[in-house]
Amino acid sequence: MRASGQQGGNGRGYALVTGASSGIGAAIAREYARRGVPLILTARRTDRLDALAAELRGRVDVLTLAADLADPAAPAALQAEIASRGLHVAHLVNNAGYGVPGRYLSSDWKTHADSLQVMLNGVCELTHRFLPAMEAAGHGRIINVASLAGLVPASAGHTLYGATKAFLIRFSECLAMEMETRGVHVCALCPGFTYTEFHDVNGMRDRVSKLPKWLWLDADAVAKLGLDAVERGQRRCVTGGANKLIAAISKYLPDGLAHALVASRSKEFRDAD
């Protein structure tokens, strides 16, 4: 693990943001900095982390920790490095994640196992490691970045993505109920289509760019909505009016009709080949 740039503790709780090198993670880091919360940023791409840290250090203390959360040892290593510096994590943002395109059998098991380690096992372990100190302090905030995909009917392709995000939503809601009298707020942030590099990474940029503009939000808006929601004690935050409508329709439509509608349009936003 490579660390750089921390300016020294200031007695305040830090925000640990995973997947902070770009997209929603970077936007959340910027929003925390705007609110004066010092940061611990982690991701694989050290050049991106260092650039973001340089941008934000004029506002708050920033520590960067390069780590690959596909490595099962990464959560424990992160906790140990943070503890060695005497820092307290008061805000945890489990944002790291990605989609594996195509049919389930079009990728080998190692590819799927890595994605589950990042988006499911790693999220649960980081939460389990940092939550006790929040509970002891009587104050903490946890944002698990899920997706609208966890609230709508399944579609072919990207097989584990929606399933993992559905898990994160239920996990967040259960944990929020357990913590509601202990000063710790937990929120599942459920963005829909967001202007980030996500669709470039999974090879879907050309397809999703044809979707209507009203379906999209920018990452900065998503970040602000998420931080506001967790501060209010909101257990689930679906971003944007269009996405809230889609989630509501998915909930109340008969299963057969909802699945048929999604199946008829899924090739616009999922690679099932």
- Domain spans, the chain: 2-268
Residue 252 known to be catalytic = no
Task: Give the pLDDT confidence of 251-260 residue by residue, as tens digits.
Answer: 877 777 666 6
What's the pLDDT score for residue 131?
98
| Multiple choice CATH, 2-268, 3.90.226.10, 3.30.1300.10, 3.90.1150.10, 3.40.50.720 | 3.40.50.720
What's the pLDDT score for residue 206?
52
Question: Which of 14, 32, 98, 161 is the catalytic position?
Answer: 161
- pTM for the model: 0.86
| Interatomic CA distance for residues 189 and 19, integer angstroms | 15
List strand residue ranges (DSSP E) for the chain, in order.
2-4, 14-18, 39-43, 62-66, 89-94, 140-145, 184-190, 193-195, 216-218, 236-238
Burial class from Cβ neighbours inside 10 Å (0-12, 13-18, 19+) for residue 32 reads buried
Burial class from Cβ neighbours inside 10 Å (0-12, 13-18, 19+) for residue 42 reads buried
What's the pLDDT score for residue 133?
98
Segment-wise mean pLDDT, segments of 10 residues, the chain, 273 residues: 53 89 96 98 95 96 97 98 98 96 96 98 98 98 96 88 97 98 98 64 50 72 97 96 86 70 58 62
Residue 14: CB partners within 8 Å, gap ≥ 6? 37, 38, 39, 40, 61, 63, 82, 87, 88, 89, 90, 91
Residue 148: CB partners within 8 Å, gap ≥ 6? 190, 191, 192, 238, 243, 246, 247
What's the pLDDT score for residue 202?
45
What's the pLDDT score for residue 153?
86
